[in-house]
Amino acid sequence: MDMKKYAAEAIGTFWLTFAGCGSAVIAAGFPQVGIGLVGVSLAFGLSVVTMAYAIGHISGCHLNPAVTVGLAAGGRFPAGQILPYVIAQVCGAIVAAELLYVIANGAPGFDLKGFAANGYDTHSPGQYSMVACFITEVVMTMMFLFVIMGSTHGRAPAGFAPLAIGLALVMIHLVSIPVTNTSVNPARSTGPALFVGGWALSQLWLFWVAPLIGGGLGGVLYRWLSEEPSGVVAGVKTA
């Protein structure tokens, strides 16, 4: 049933946002020495790996509006299902951010600060310009879709797609956390931005527009590069 797919997407995106952003908010610098950039990058990647194995057979485990759009552009997903998938993903991310806020607020001296939100210019971790951040998000999301399309191809080694996708997300975070705090996922960006408000909401547009463009480009590029074998849709045999 479609409702089960939407529920799976909401749960999966909840886990990605809660675990990934939670690692940044709670553990990155705890108390003086925490898990740091590498730990946060691993948390995001592992959240995708675990959910891919858990719900991949139910919804495809997109967890990301840019992935949904990219897969549709690549001919792997019906365009009519984009909106309900995106709604489910955003809802899951918002619930995750709300729960994370409640937990983080339980510590003495809690300071909301950036709350794992994404930003550019003065709100970029490295104060990168809007143009640099936009390019980063487009390119990173494009390559993320390229890996997703390739690792789920009908002729790709079976069972290894979640690992390839998760490791790609780790690499993306290792490179782009200093630039944008890494989005490549509009839903993940929306949840924390709602709690930070102000600058985070005013800059949220970039973290929708750039990943969606990148996702579409990645899907189209891989579709051009490698056609699906006969009888295969989204890496699953249909005949």
Structure-token pair, residue 231: 């009888």
Q: Alpha carbon of 230 to those of 101, 163, 187: distances in Å?
A: 48, 25, 33
pLDDT at 232: 39
**42-46, 117-121, 183-187, 226-230: which has the minimum mean pLDDT?**
226-230
- Could you report the per-residue pLDDT of 93-141, keeping only the tens digit for each? 999 999 999 999 999 989 899 999 999 999 999 999 999 999 999 999 9
Where is 232: in which H helix or E strand? Answer: strand 232-233
Contact (CB, 8 A) for 116 and 93: no
In sequence order, what are the residues at sequence separation of 6 or more whose Cβ sits closer than 8 angstroms to the Cβ of residue 213? 138, 141
Assess whether pLDDT exceeds 50 at residue 237: no
Contact (CB, 8 A) for 89 and 10: yes
Q: In degrees to the nearest 10, what's the CA dihedral of 34, 126, 188, 213?
A: -150
Q: In degrees to the nearest 10, what's the CA dihedral of 168, 174, 178, 179?
A: -20
CATH label, 2-237, candidates 1.20.1080.10, 3.40.50.620, 3.40.140.10, 1.20.1050.10:
1.20.1080.10
Assess whether pLDDT exceeds 70 at residue 153: yes
Per-residue exposure over 125-135, b if at least 16 CB sit within 10 Å of its own CB, e if not: beebeeebbbe
- 73 against 232, higher pLDDT: 73
